[in-house]
A and B are shown apart, each in its own frame.
Chain A
Amino acid sequence: MSDSDEGDRADTVVVYDQGSTETPAEAVVAAVADVTGRSPLDLDPLYDAIDPDTLNTLFSTPAWASSVTVTFEYCEHRVTLTGEEVRVSSPGGPP
Chain B
Amino acid sequence: MAHHTSADSDDAERVSVDGVFASLANPERRRVLEFAIARAPEPTSREDLATALAAWRTDRLRTDVTDEAHQRAAVSLRHAHLPKLTAAGLLDRVADDAVVPADHPAYDDPGVREVIEGDVAADADSLDALFDALADERRRTVLDVLSHQIGSIHTETLARELLARERDTVESDVPSAAVEQCLTRLRHTDLPRLSTAGLIEYDADARTVAYEGHPELRVPWMHSVLHPEFRGSLSGESDPDGIGEIEGRERVISFGQSLCDRADDELFCMFTDTQLLEAGCLTRIRDASRRGVTVYLGTPNPAVREYVRENAPEVVLWEPNTDWLNLPAAGDRVGRLLLADREAVMLGTLREERTDGYHDEQAIVGEGEHNTLVTMICQLLGPHLEEIDAGTRNAALDLPL
B399 on interface, CB distance cutoff 8 Å: no
Neighbour of B75 across the interface among A29, A47, A53, CB < 8 A = A29
In the docked arrangement, what's the CA distance between A52 and B80, Å?
6
In the docked arrangement, what's the CA distance between A93 and B87, Å?
33
Closest to A28 in B: B79
Given contacts A41-B74, A53-B84, contact A47 B26 (CB under 8 A): no
B79–A29 touching, CB < 8 Å: yes
Closest to A22 in B: B72
**Binary A-proximity of B76-117 (CB < 8 A = 1, otherwise 0):** 101110111001000000000000000000000000000000
Q: Which residues of A contact B78 (CB under 8 A)?
A: 40-41, 45
What is the minimal beta-carbon distance from A34 to any residue of chain B, in angstroms? 13
B83–A26 touching, CB < 8 Å: no
What is the minimal beta-carbon distance from B16 to any residue of chain A, in angstroms? 17
In the docked arrangement, what's the CA distance between A52 and B72, Å?
15
What is the minimal beta-carbon distance from A20 to any residue of chain B, in angstroms? 11
**Binary A-proximity of B242-254 (CB < 8 A = 1, otherwise 0):** 0000000000000
Q: Which A23-80 residues have C-beta < 8 A from chain B?
A: 25-26, 29, 40-41, 43, 45-48, 51-53
Q: Which residues of A contact B26 (CB under 8 A)?
A: 53
What is the minimal beta-carbon distance from B27 to any residue of chain A, in angstroms? 12
B84–A47 touching, CB < 8 Å: yes
Q: Which residues of B contact A40 (CB under 8 A)?
A: 71, 75, 78-79
In the docked arrangement, what's the CA distance between A43 and B83, Å?
13
A47–B83 touching, CB < 8 Å: yes
Report the interface size class on chain B: 10 to 19
In the docked arrangement, what's the CA distance between A77 and B72, Å?
22
Most central of B26, B79, B83, B84 by chain A CB within 10 Å = B79
Q: Which residues of A contact B22 (CB under 8 A)?
A: 53
Size of the A side of the interface (Cβ < 8 Å), in residues, is 13
In the docked arrangement, what's the CA distance between A43 and B22, Å?
24
Neighbour of B80 across the interface among A41, A43, A47, CB < 8 A = A47
A46–B79 touching, CB < 8 Å: yes
A41–B75 touching, CB < 8 Å: yes
B84–A26 touching, CB < 8 Å: no
A53–B80 touching, CB < 8 Å: yes
A26–B74 touching, CB < 8 Å: no
Q: Which residues of A contact B84 (CB under 8 A)?
A: 47, 51, 53
What is the minimal beta-carbon distance from B230 to any residue of chain A, in angstroms? 28
In the docked arrangement, what's the CA distance between A47 and B26, Å?
15
Closest to A33 in B: B75
What is the minimal beta-carbon distance from A86 to any residue of chain B, in angstroms? 14
Closest to B75 in A: A40
In the docked arrangement, what's the CA distance between A41 and B73, Å?
11
Q: Which residues of B contact A41 (CB under 8 A)?
A: 71, 74-75, 78
Q: Which residues of A contact B83 (CB under 8 A)?
A: 45, 47-48
Closest to B76 in A: A26
In the docked arrangement, what's the CA distance between A29 and B74, Å?
12
Q: Which B44-91 residues have C-beta < 8 A from chain A?
A: 71-72, 74-76, 78-80, 82-84, 87
A-B contact pairs, 30 of them (CB 8 A): A25-B79, A25-B80, A26-B72, A26-B76, A29-B75, A29-B79, A40-B75, A40-B79, A41-B74, A41-B75, A41-B78, A43-B79, A45-B78, A45-B79, A45-B80, A45-B83, A46-B79, A46-B80, A47-B79, A47-B80, A47-B83, A47-B84, A48-B83, A51-B84, A52-B79, A53-B22, A53-B25, A53-B26, A53-B80, A53-B84
| Across the A-B interface, the 9 shortest Cβ-Cβ residue pairs | A47-B83, A46-B79, A52-B80, A45-B83, A40-B75, A45-B79, A29-B79, A41-B74, A41-B78
Query: With A41-B74, A46-B80, A53-B80 given, can you name 8 additional A-B contacts, CB distance below 8 Å?
Result: A29-B79, A40-B71, A45-B80, A45-B82, A46-B79, A47-B79, A47-B80, A53-B22
